[in-house]
Chain A
Amino acid sequence: MTEPKGSQPSGGDLNRRDFLRSLAGVGGAAVALQVLDQLSLDPEQAISSYEAQIQELVYAEGTNLETLDVLERMRVELRRALQKKPEERRWVMVIDLRKCVGCHACTVACIAENKLPPGVVYRPVIEEEIGTYPNVARRFVPRPCMQCENPPCVPVCPVGATYTNEEGIVEMNYSRCIGCRYCITACPYSARTSDFGLTYTQANANAEGLILSSDIADNYERASNFEYGREYPREGRNSPIGNARKCHFCQHRILEGQLPACVTTCIGRATLFGDANDPESLVAELIASPNVMRLREELGTEPRVYYLT
């Protein structure tokens, strides 16, 4: 009854081992060729060639972007949106809760991108436990700034240091902010935090030549961030120390044609970003689906962050 060695199985009788072997053969060759191809280029060239391909797609007529990886599709759509006037864009974020695995990579990427100090977090991932043991389920809810259309944090600022820009992103003017923290109390999503001027390494011991002492270790933490397109070195008590801080959809990256850090690092492609005013865009398509919800909608804040459930 056993199949003789060397016999060719018919298409319908392809067993699992042979299927994997053939797949590895074909796929492996393709990957190897790609790797060889990439290795023959220097990294700079590889990146610029990739960027050129993305740029080509921005102008290509009739390309079906749905065949691309969502990250590439979003980058093409992002660059397409940047061709429009700022007031014609409407940036939204879509978070697919069914895909989020709670790895917190987005939180970490955001901290690295914006060089956030202790006590400041723009995008924590809330872990929700639903039900009672043993009938429990777990859900992960990333919570960036909602970039509300009616932001409660804006009108409460006594000096107009926070405002909605023409693209709909709620921004901070760190140099104007007096640090009264009224906006923090007014945000229904606790999406604003206070910069107390702390560093992660400040408790490190100092022993020159023996360990990476705190005065050296915090060099990275003292490096400037580039939020809102400006350089903010962390020196003395200068801003943003003493200010309220918040997620800004990585505006400095967007303007350079890059997706927000949390989007590019999401391992499950659960966080999506784009221009909702582009009817062809991925996010426009998703926010029209019936399984969309927004946090605390009853407050009328009209968040620009949508969750797929």
Chain B
Amino acid sequence: MAQAVQPQESVVPPTEAPLPRVRFEWRWTDVFWILGIILLVVGAPGMWQRLTEGLAPTNLTSYVPWGVWVGFYDYLVWMEVGSLLIFTSMIYIFGDRLMPKIKPIVLFTGFTIVTMGLLIVLLDLGHFERFWHVIVYPDFGSMIAWMVWLHSSYLLILTLELAIVLWGGDRFKSFLKPLAYISLPVGLALIIVSGSIFGVVAARPLWNTASLPLMFLLSALAAGSGLLLFLIVVFWQNKQSDEYVRLVKRVSVITRTLLLAGVFAAGVIAFTMLYKGGGNPTRAEALNLILTGPYWWSFWIVHILLGVLIPLGILFTMPSKPVMAGIAAFLSSVTFVAVTLNIVIPTLVTEELKGLATAFVDPKLSLDYAPNLMEWMVLFFIFGIGAVIFGLGMRFLPLQSHHAEESHE
């Protein structure tokens, strides 16, 4: 009987067999892509305007042709390249044995920020569909041509490094060291060129100083070491270990030293520029606009108080307390954007020829500039893209599985 029943049983589909359930487990890093989606939604109207109406809806004018987007681009370059310069130097020049453990996260963060930077600079172009002209018709007498080439090269190097770290296996690991060595001069050059874009412009006295590219380097290292410290505090897995506290203290010392050096250098330069006897009045006017103009608070409160004094106080008094160091690093690295904005905007809103702003009255021939909602929305959209990339990377890429390895080399 049992044999007779068997064929009948085989016809019945096995619908009642329970399927294995895939349970979605939330991780705290999911906050990045969730935040990213929110930013994408909030920024979408601005992005739509940018794509359909060009630069017309921005508050940019013919006399203030660069604004918040260029400021943010430089800020992102400082963060990404500054952190990677310190990170790579610590591993390959100073032989730090703890840093490699966090390599995938640092490289991936760098990759995300480099991508965001390129997107911002692309959207700032009047004809972004012609970006390839810089590759096909480059004029290497221009600092912007160098910037595009160096930035693209840096993204390529970083992508290769990241790919090897994540999926390279032993076969490609030998390429990591040469790639890291190449990234050092390329990164250094990118920072110096970003500063030189402004430094070579003789028409703008506040920019046109030999010290500006060097200040860019110093600031990038200070901002970058803050970011690196923040990444260590947030993403280090075994926070109970001694090596974690040791590394936090080490990077804290680097960060506070660079911050101090930056403040000292900026102070010396500012005092020289403000000197009245024989000084350049246009330069002093632009500098005074930063110090005492309508956006004085962005310099004194955002940068000096929140970005320098409070972090310095924390890093000098509590360098061995990782959470506090993390807060200091966060404050320092986030508020550095006030510096780049203060470099770009006040210089441009200073009149080159007296009376020009009133010679022809038109909203786009004005010296008044403050970023409008559309410009901020485009930035939200870009940061949304960055947050989604980072959040998805944290979920789907093996960014923390390498943590146990001592070193890849």
Asked if residues B126 and A242 are in contact (CB atoms below 8 Å), the reply is yes
Decide yes or no whether B365 CB sits under 8 A from chain A: yes
Q: Would A237 and B363 count as touching, CB distance under 8 A?
A: no
Give the residues from 155 to 200 in chain A that come closer than 8 angstroms, CB to CB, to chain B.
Answer: 155-161, 176-182, 184-190, 192-198
* A241 nearest CB neighbor, chain B only: B54
Decide yes or no whether A234 CB sits under 8 A from chain B. Answer: no
Asked if B65 and A127 sit within 8 Å, CB to CB, the answer is no
Q: How far is the CA of A186 from the CA of B347 in the complex (A)?
A: 12
Q: Does B63 belong to the interface (CB within 8 Å)?
A: yes
Please report whether the interface of chain A is mostly helix, strand, loop or mixed according to DSSP.
loop
B134 partner residues in chain A, CB cutoff 8 A: 158-159, 178
**Nearest chain-B residue to A155 (Cβ)?**
B141
Query: Which residue of chain B is the closest to A121 with respect to CB atoms?
Result: B360
| B66, B141, B197, B365: the one within 8 Å of A119 (CB) | B365
In the complex, what residues of A have CB within 8 A of residue B200's CB?
Answer: 156
User: How far apart sit A186 and B200, CA to CA, in the bound complex (Å)?
Assistant: 9
Per-residue A-contact encoding for B327-348, CB less than 8 Å = 1, 0 else: 0000000000000000000001
The answer to whether B127 touches A125 (Cβ under 8 A) is: no
User: Is A264 on the interface with B (CB-CB < 8 A)?
Assistant: no
**A151 smallest CB distance to B (angstroms):** 11
Pairwise interchain contact A159-B145, C-beta atoms closer than 8 A: yes
Asked if B365 and A121 sit within 8 Å, CB to CB, the answer is yes
Q: Does B371 contact A (CB under 8 A)?
A: no
Interface size on B, residues (CB 8 A): 47
For window 150-206 of B, CB contacts with A under 8 Å fall at: 197, 200-204
A68 interface hit (Cβ, 8 Å):
no
Q: How far is the CA of A160 from the CA of B137 in the complex (A)?
A: 7
Cβ of A295 < 8 Å from any Cβ of B? yes
Given contacts A179-B125, A185-B348, contact A193 B365 (CB under 8 A): yes
- List B contacts of A244 (CB < 8 A): 126
Q: What is the 8 Å Cβ interface bit string for chain A, positions 116-137, against chain B (1 contact, 0 not)?
A: 0011110011111000000000
Contact between A124 and B203, CB atoms less than 8 A apart: no
- A176 B137 Cβ-Cβ under 8 A: yes
A233 at the interface (CB under 8 A from B): no
Inter-chain CA distance A65–B65, complex, in Å, is: 46
**B52-64 interface code vs A (CB 8 A; 1 in, 0 out):** 0111100011110
Name the residue on B nearest A186 (C-beta).
B201
B355: Cβ under 8 A from any A Cβ: yes
Beta-carbon contact of B138 and A239 below 8 Å: no
Q: Is B142 an interface residue (CB 8 A)?
A: yes
> In angstroms, how far is the closest chain A Cβ from the Cβ of B47?
16
Enumerate chain A residues within 8 angstroms of B362, measured Cβ to Cβ: 118-119, 121
- Shortest C-beta distance, B201 to chain A (Å), equals 5
B354 nearest in chain A by CB position: A128
Q: Which of A119, A155, A180, A195 contacts B125 (CB 8 A)?
A: A180
Between B124, B356, B359, the greatest number of chain A beta carbons within 10 A of the residue's beta carbon is seen for B359
A19 to B143 Cα, complex, angstroms: 70
Contacts A128-B355, A159-B137, A178-B127 hold; do A184 and B364 have CB atoms under 8 A apart?
no
Contact of B356 with A299 in the complex, beta carbons under 8 Å? no
Determine the chain B residues whose CB is within 8 A of the CB of A176 once the complex forms: 130, 133, 137
Within 8 Å by CB of A194, from B60, B143, B352, B356, lies B60
Tell whether B238 is near chain A: CB-to-CB under 8 Å. no
Interface residue A143 (Cβ < 8 Å from any Cβ of B): yes
Interface residues of A in 87-124 (CB under 8 A from B): 107, 118-121, 124
Q: Which residue of A lies closest to B53 (CB)?
A: A197
**CA of A182 to CA of B60 in the docked complex: distance in angstroms?**
14
- Contact mask A133-145 → B, CB, 8 Å, 1/0? 0000000010100
Taking beta carbons and an 8 Å cutoff, which residues of B are in contact with A?
53-56, 60-63, 65-66, 124-128, 130-131, 133-134, 137-139, 141-145, 148, 197, 200-204, 348, 352-356, 358-360, 362-365
Additional A-B contacts beyond A126-B356, A158-B134, A197-B56 (14; CB < 8 A): A118-B362, A120-B364, A124-B359, A155-B141, A156-B143, A159-B145, A176-B137, A180-B124, A184-B65, A185-B66, A185-B348, A190-B62, A242-B126, A299-B202
What are 28 A-B interface contacts by the 8 Å CB criterion? A107-B360, A119-B362, A124-B356, A128-B355, A141-B353, A143-B359, A157-B139, A158-B134, A160-B139, A178-B125, A179-B130, A180-B125, A181-B66, A185-B204, A186-B203, A187-B203, A188-B202, A194-B61, A194-B62, A194-B65, A196-B54, A196-B55, A198-B364, A239-B127, A242-B126, A243-B126, A244-B126, A299-B203
